[in-house]
């Protein structure tokens, strides 16, 4: 049995070319820039950051829904960066953000959930197919009465349950959850999160859980990666990150989490970021965060910080942190 982690992304880069023509030079969107992470069997890795920072693009790139510009994708230690993905689709699935857009309105729920079985020829007979569809629907809290209905007859939470059932049809080992609760009512979000955690305990799947809500990520994730403008700025075990955030961007994100206790909320220090997120078409030189960082110095504007280990399992890319720990580092900006 292999000792390799279930999933590993090494130095993933994803660029998109926009515009261009006979007399006009094309521009490059640097959506994902040198991102590496590891996910063990049965683990949830949370990925957080502002809208447009590249989280969803990264999730789709590691599943090869987008082809990576460079880098390596490994599953059980096997390099699948350029492999034929058909055999691996059984093991790697995705739940999309919007259940209103990700389900075909012309198909019944039974056909939607059964489609992966048909594509991969996973059930030999019609009876076996029907039995597996019912089993999947029951797993996500639906029943046989829902099989012949269409997506428009369901609520948002029920549609997302259908999406999760479809993703689980082929017994995947690894699932990308691309903001699976952001389009749902708050009252439904907890139900879907708890269901995902129960399914993980029962089936042993690993998740890459992409989200905006840091409280949700803390609740479901073992490790958390903080992403800014296409790059990971900090990675840490979940509870440790919330207790001891090192990167100024992480500190700002955590300081914005609402606290229900008014006294605690008034007494804590809020970190307010100035300005807007720069464009990924023309990212800043040096540290990408320096245009909004209250601690930026000259080195931040000229050199990109290296990712260093600040504690076991805790990495951070910040010149300020390196200085505080007495570590010299940095590399020329791209």
Distance, C-alpha 63 to centroid of its chain:
11
Distance between CA atoms of 56 and 253, rounded to whole angstroms? 18
pLDDT confidence of residue 268: 58
How confident is the model at residue 314, as a pLDDT?
A: 93
- 45 vs 221: CA distance, rounded Å: 5
Indicate the SS3 state at residue 193: helix
The pLDDT profile of the chain, 334 residues, written as one tens digit per residue, is 467 899 999 999 999 998 877 778 889 999 999 999 999 999 999 999 988 899 999 999 999 999 999 999 999 999 999 999 988 999 999 999 888 888 999 999 999 999 998 888 766 688 888 999 999 999 998 988 999 999 999 998 899 999 999 999 999 999 999 999 887 888 888 888 999 999 999 999 999 999 988 888 988 999 999 999 999 999 999 989 888 999 999 999 888 776 665 655 455 566 778 778 888 998 999 999 999 998 999 999 999 999 999 989 899 999 999 998 887 655 544 4
In our burial notation (b when 16+ CB lie closer than 10 A, e otherwise), range 92-103 reads bbbbbbbbeebb
The confidence score (pLDDT) of residue 266 equals 56
Residues near 20 by Cβ (< 8 Å), separated by ≥ 6? 26, 27
Name the token pair of 166: 């479809």
31 CB neighbour count, 10 Å cutoff:
23
CA distances for 86 relative to 82, 110, 113, 213, 257, angstroms: 12, 23, 18, 33, 41
* Cα gap 230→35, rounded to integer Å: 8
- Provide the β-strand partners of residue 7: 39, 75
Q: What's the pLDDT score for residue 333? A: 47
Quickly tell me which residue has 């800043």 as its tokens. 284
| Extended beta strands in the chain, E state | 7-18, 27-39, 44-48, 70-75, 78-79, 92-95, 174-178, 206-210, 223-228, 231-237, 303-304, 308-311, 314-316, 331-332
Q: Which residues have a Cβ under 8 Å from the Cβ of 170 and sit 6 or more positions away? A: 89, 90, 91, 93, 116, 117, 120, 122
Tokens 């020829």 -> residue: 121
Residues 67 and 252: their CA atoms lie apart, in Å, by: 32
Supply the CATH classification number for the domain 7-91+172-332: 3.40.50.300
Locate the domains of the chain by residue range: 7-91+172-332
Cα–Cα distance measured from residue 152 to residue 98, given in angstroms and rounded to the nearest whole number: 13
The two tokens of residue 182 are: 């952001």
């Amino acid at each position: 049995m292999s000792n390799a982690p279930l999933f590993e992304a090494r130095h993933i880069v994803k660029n998109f070319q926009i515009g261009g023509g006979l007399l006009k030079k094309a521009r490059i969107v640097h959506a994902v820039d040198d991102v590496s992470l590891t996910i063990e069997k049965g683990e949830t890795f949370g990925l957080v950051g502002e809208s447009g920072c590249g989280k969803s693009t990264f999730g789709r790139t590691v599943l090869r829904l987008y082809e990576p510009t460079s880098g390596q994708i490994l599953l059980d230690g096997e390099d699948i960066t350029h492999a034929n993905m058909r055999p691996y689709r059984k093991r790697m699935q995705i739940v999309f953000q919007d259940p209103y857009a990700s389900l075909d309105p012309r198909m019944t729920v039974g056909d939607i959930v059964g489609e992966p079985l048909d594509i991969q020829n996973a059930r030999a007979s019609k009876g076996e197919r029907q039995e597996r569809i019912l089993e999947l629907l029951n797993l996500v809290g639906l029943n046989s009465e829902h099989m012949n209905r269409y997506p428009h007859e369901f609520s948002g939470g029920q549609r997302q349950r259908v999406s999760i059932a479809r993703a689980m049809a082929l017994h995947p080992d690894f699932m990308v959850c691309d903001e699976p609760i952001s389009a749902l009512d708050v009252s439904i979000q907890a139900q879907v999160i708890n269901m995902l955690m129960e399914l993980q305990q029962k089936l042993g799947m690993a998740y890459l859980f992409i989200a905006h809500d840091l409280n949700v990520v803390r609740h479901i994730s073992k490790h958390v990666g903080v992403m800014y403008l296409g790059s990971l700025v900090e990675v840490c075990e979940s509870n440790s990150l919330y207790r001891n955030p090192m990167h100024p961007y992480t500190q700002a994100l955590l300081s914005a989490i609402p606290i229900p206790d008014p006294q605690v909320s008034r007494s804590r220090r809020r970190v307010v970021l100035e300005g807007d997120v720069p464009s990924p078409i023309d990212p800043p030189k040096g540290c990408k965060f320096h245009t909004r960082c209250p601690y930026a110095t000259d080195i931040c504007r000229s050199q990109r910080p290296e990712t260093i280990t600040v504690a076991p399992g805790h990495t951070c890319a910040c010149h300020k942190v390196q200085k505080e720990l007495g570590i010299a580092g940095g590399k020329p900006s791209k």
